[in-house]
Copies of this chain bind each other. A is one copy, B any other.
Amino acid sequence: MSTIKLSSDALKFENNQLFLLNQTQLPNTEEWILCDTPTKLYDSILQLKVRGAPLIAIAASLFIGKYALQIKNRKTIKSTIDYLISSRPTAVNLQLLLQQHLALLSKETEFKNHLDLAIQHFNEDIELCQKISRYGVEIIKDNDIILTHCNTGSLATAGNGTALGIIKSAFKTKSGISVYVDETRPLLQGARLTAWELSKNKIPYQLICDNMAAFLMKQNKVNVIVVGADRICLNGDFANKIGTYSLAVLAQYHNVPFYVAAPYTTIDFSCKTGESIPIEHREPNEVRGFKNQNNHIYWSPESSKVYNPAFDVTPSELVTGYILDKGHFSGKQLKSLACINQNTLRLSPNVTSIQL
């Protein structure tokens, strides 16, 4: 039996078993799910029990790590990887990390190497978050009021978070930091998860409905906006939780700096522009009402047709800067990170920090 033990706020790996915190039940209930079949993981991703572009990738990598040892059949492992990749078309981290397992498979190495790779992914993400936070605090000043969208903290990564990781670091190292949290309809990751994380960290915040952000900016009540990303393209266009594009346009109109924080695992240089990013559309009931363990309420007519894209794409010209684990970048500088690798433009492992 393996003695490997990994633990983050939203994921546990011990005795070769993967447990996920069921984020749909937060902040009311902390329920851990044993994730022991590919279907369970697929459904957990689809239902957003596990979410956050970096975290779903690590969960899937760890699952494949233990599954490879258990199944020891390359064909089955490959088809399981393909199946898991299909669970979240927009976020690219899942694809990137699982492609590394595919590469291992094609090399026909020992099955235990998949678990080693997964552990490496887990530990790397913690480190990537730390680096992002370190670069990110440089853009935050004392007394800044920061607005953020969705959840990008320790519930979305193996580490401290991306955008929310920066906010946590800023709270520790600067004075007078406070936060406005977009509730982030329809699935309310801001209201449920970010509010919960900020509460736990005793960081002052106010919850708002997504449609209030503009009025705050008009009153000069927002100094800076930081959001995460689910996929960043070669030209800097990026996909993120629906509502991000709206914020970016509003930020430009009000001259509020707008930053994107992400690890290199979110970069997909095979997408030249945002046009190539597939957008996941989700079921109408998410918009018709609200559902958790105990309740399912419809507040609109049940026959209502619904438009429900889970993500939107923000063009790079609306982004003040990208805060990556490699440093600060402008949209145009992102290209400098690219190198040709297996027919896909991927981040060069050798690149060093480039300051804006």
Q: Which residues of A contact B (CB under 8 A)?
A: 27, 180, 182-186, 188, 191-192, 195-196, 199, 204-216, 218, 242-243, 245-246, 249-250, 252-253, 287-288, 290, 292, 295, 297, 299-301, 303-309, 312-313
Q: Is there contact, CB below 8 Å, between A287 and B242?
A: no
CB proximity of A284 to chain B, nearest CB, Å: 8
Question: In the complex, A184→B185 CA distance in Å?
Answer: 11
A216 neighbours in B (Cβ, 8 Å): 307
Q: Is there contact, CB below 8 Å, between B209 and A287?
A: yes
Please tell me which one of the listed residues B199, B210, B215 contacts residue A185 in the complex, with CB atoms under 8 A apart: B210
Q: Is there contact, CB below 8 Å, between A211 and B195?
A: no
CB closest residue in chain B, given A246: B214
State whether A208 and B306 are in contact (beta carbons under 8 Å apart), knowing that A246-B246, A250-B249 are contacts in the complex. Answer: yes
CB closest residue in chain B, given A221: B307
Q: Is there contact, CB below 8 Å, between A205 and B246?
A: no
Please tell me which one of the listed residues B199, B209, B313 contacts residue A242 in the complex, with CB atoms under 8 A apart: B209
A-B contact pairs, 25 of them (CB 8 A): A183-B185, A183-B300, A185-B209, A191-B299, A191-B300, A191-B304, A192-B300, A195-B304, A199-B303, A199-B304, A206-B305, A207-B305, A208-B308, A209-B242, A212-B308, A212-B312, A213-B246, A214-B312, A215-B242, A215-B313, A249-B249, A249-B253, A290-B299, A292-B297, A295-B295
Which A-B residue pairs are the 7 nearest by beta carbons?
Answer: A211-B243, A214-B246, A185-B209, A210-B211, A191-B300, A215-B312, A206-B307
A195 neighbours in B (Cβ, 8 Å): 300-301, 304
Question: In the complex, A153→B331 CA distance in Å?
Answer: 45
A305 neighbours in B (Cβ, 8 Å): 204-207
CB proximity of A319 to chain B, nearest CB, Å: 15
Please tell me which one of the listed residues B188, B253, B303 contacts residue A253 in the complex, with CB atoms under 8 A apart: B253
A250 neighbours in B (Cβ, 8 Å): 246, 249-250
CB proximity of A231 to chain B, nearest CB, Å: 15
A245 neighbours in B (Cβ, 8 Å): 214-215, 218
Question: In the complex, A191→B297 CA distance in Å?
Answer: 13
Please tell me which one of the listed residues B199, B213, B288, B309 contacts residue A207 in the complex, with CB atoms under 8 A apart: B288
State whether A210 and B210 are in contact (beta carbons under 8 Å apart), knowing that A195-B300, A245-B215, A245-B218 are contacts in the complex. Answer: yes
Please tell me which one of the listed residues B192, B205, B290, B307 contacts residue A180 in the complex, with CB atoms under 8 A apart: B307
CB proximity of A291 to chain B, nearest CB, Å: 10
CB proximity of A250 to chain B, nearest CB, Å: 6
Question: In the complex, A195→B213 CA distance in Å?
Answer: 24
Q: Is there contact, CB below 8 Å, between B27 and A212?
A: no
A205 neighbours in B (Cβ, 8 Å): 304-305
Q: Is there contact, CB below 8 Å, between A214 and B287?
A: no
A183 neighbours in B (Cβ, 8 Å): 185, 287, 300
CB proximity of A254 to chain B, nearest CB, Å: 8
Give the interface centre of A188, A252, A305 by most chain B CB atoms within 10 Å: A305
Q: Is there contact, CB below 8 Å, between B301 and A199?
A: yes
Contacts A208-B307, A246-B250 known; 13 new A-B pairs at CB < 8 A:
A27-B301, A182-B211, A186-B209, A191-B299, A199-B301, A209-B242, A209-B287, A211-B243, A212-B312, A249-B249, A249-B250, A290-B290, A290-B297
Question: In the complex, A287→B185 CA distance in Å?
Answer: 12
